[in-house]
Amino acid sequence: MSFGVAIEVGIGLILMYLLLGLFVTAINEFVAQFASIRARHLKSALRHMLGLRMTGDDTANLALFTALTSSPVFQIAGEISKTTGSGTAPSPSYMNRDSFLAALREAIPKLQLKDAQGATLSAESLRQLDIKGLIEALPKESGLRASLLAVIGDAGATAKEAEKRVGDWFDSMMERGTGAYKRWMSVFSLVLGLALAIGFNCDTIRVAQELGTNATLREAVVKTAEDIKQRCQPAAAPADVAKPAEAEKAAAAKAKAACEDVRKNLDALQTLPVGWKAGDGTVLAWGSLSIIGWVVTALAVSLGAPFWFDVLSKFMNVRGALKTPAK
């Protein structure tokens, strides 16, 4: 197989991965919005930040978690990001440091807190405290109190310094929560990619073999790839998720763009040697190589449509450089 043929076979495989990746992106965004998966992950992250145990005796932290999630800041953000599957008490999908600090200032005064002498502190007196004073007023058994006092560090830290350190801590915890969400979605994308690979019979090994031996098919696939490269621009994930409303709009736009790309490029799959045809028989008719081919396809598709769009652009540029200029 010559280098030029190998490039064209690669373009065909990348095109298949790109089209299936668009399906996965559209389904992922639909499921994430309908089932409020981001909101569920945010609540799970907040539970871990508060040090909540999964038992019913964690009264102090559970009360703080309830007060935090019922605060006006949290509730308003939840109404903004409300979806069909979010229920009657929707939760926000995103939360920035300023919103967290504001919700914390609203939540702590709602708790039944006591001073060192055992007297109950009034909500009015608690609202006069800065963020450091509010944290120190939390019960000593509170996991959040111990964590945030360790974050603030020296006792001489000013209110502004304490607020900045708590905000930095929240940002770092949210980064971990985002990483957990991405890992979960990667697994979901892998399973979905495998289902699509089997459903459309997108066997990487078989497609590569047919492309390698059929020059007419390669020419048609490359032409389709050039067309898609001109009109398909997979939407990237929102870079700034600091503002919940803007982040929700960006996610909705991403889902809409992915669905539009799928609609436009659905016929392109017909160019590729995929799909179940008469005589293919059962799933095992192709033997173990088909199973391996489906798994390879699923692994490739899980990398996402934007990744394969960039790779397709590079392959098309390399192929263009190989062409002999016309005299």
- Using CA atoms, how far apart are residues 45 and 37, in angstroms rounded to an integer? 12
Is residue 120 classed as helix, strand or coil in its secondary structure?
strand
Query: What are the residues facing 6 on neighbouring strands?
Result: none
- Using CA atoms, how far apart are residues 247 and 93, in angstroms rounded to an integer? 9
pLDDT for res 222: 83
- Using CA atoms, how far apart are residues 267 and 249, in angstroms rounded to an integer? 29
pTM over 0.85: no
Low-confidence residues in the chain, pLDDT < 50: 54-56, 86, 235-242, 245, 281-285
Name the one residue in this structure whose structure tokens are 């067309």: 227
- Using CA atoms, how far apart are residues 102 and 71, in angstroms rounded to an integer? 9
Could you give the angle at which helices 3-34 and 244-265 cross, rounded to 10 degrees? 130
Residue 229 · residue 316 · CB < 8 Å:
yes
- Using CA atoms, how far apart are residues 56 and 37, in angstroms rounded to an integer? 24
- Using CA atoms, how far apart are residues 26 and 257, in angstroms rounded to an integer? 8
Q: Which two tokens stand for residue 41?
A: 């992950």
pLDDT for res 239: 41
pLDDT for res 190: 92
- Using CA atoms, how far apart are residues 246 and 252, in angstroms rounded to an integer? 10
